[in-house]
Copies of this chain bind each other. A is one copy, B any other.
Amino acid sequence: MSDPIDFYFDFSSPYGYLAATRIDAIAAAHGRGVTWRPLLLGAVFKISGQQPLTTIPLKGSYAQHDMLRSARWYGVPFKIPTKFPVNTVAPCRAFYWQHDKDAALAKKLALALYHAYFAEDRDISSPEITCNVAAKLGIDKAALSAALNDVAVKERTKNEVDAAIERGVFGSPYIVIDGEPFWGADRLDQVELWLEKGRW
């Protein structure tokens, strides 16, 4: 089996959510695993001078329309969250804490957090809500709640975000296959072709 591919995403990114529902199946069809790497887009945007898509004149209202239409295209439940975007430090820390215990469960947690935010309009920036979503999966709520303020978990998360920025990741979703970067859920067709035959 070749190296896993890297899947970078922010928990507040609608297109990250859409890609998250497919990326493992796409990779598995080509005998590849996927390493999920949540990041904090706010930190990235500070460097690249970007703004959240929905706040840009003209583009913003189109973006909301496109998110809804693309979600229907993917067949994925989706509402524009009441609060958008949100700070995703809590989900991000929860993910890495869980990842180091059980990577498969961490992916389930990520999908559940995405679903809570984009399908159920629950504000996952809240540590309490993040912990509740985790508890539904059988994750120890008290342990997670403590972990969210644990110095080592904070450091682990920060290092991941720094490493992503170092690598040039500037958006979500952002997928890297053997060094080849693909930005956006709308590059999943190119991701598939790359997995199939490499450079074309």
Contacts and interface: CB of A to CB of B under 8 A. Distances in A.
Interface of A: 44, 47-50, 56-59, 61-62, 65-66, 69-70, 72-73, 168-171, 181, 183-184, 186-187, 189-190, 193, 200
13 contacts: A50-B56, A57-B170, A58-B169, A59-B171, A59-B183, A62-B170, A62-B181, A65-B181, A66-B187, A69-B200, A73-B193, A184-B186, A189-B189
A183 B58 CA distance: 12
A168 B200 contact: no
A100 B5 CA distance: 52
B186 A69 contact: no
A45 to B, nearest CB: 10
B183 A72 contact: no
A190 B169 CA distance: 27
| Chain B CB within 10 Å, residue with most, of A50, A57, A66, A69 | A69
Contacts of A62: 168, 170, 181, 183
In order of increasing CB-CB distance, the 10 nearest A-B pairs are A58-B170, A186-B186, A48-B58, A48-B57, A59-B170, A58-B168, A72-B200, A62-B183, A48-B59, A73-B190
Contacts of A57: 47-49, 170
Contacts of A183: 59, 62, 66
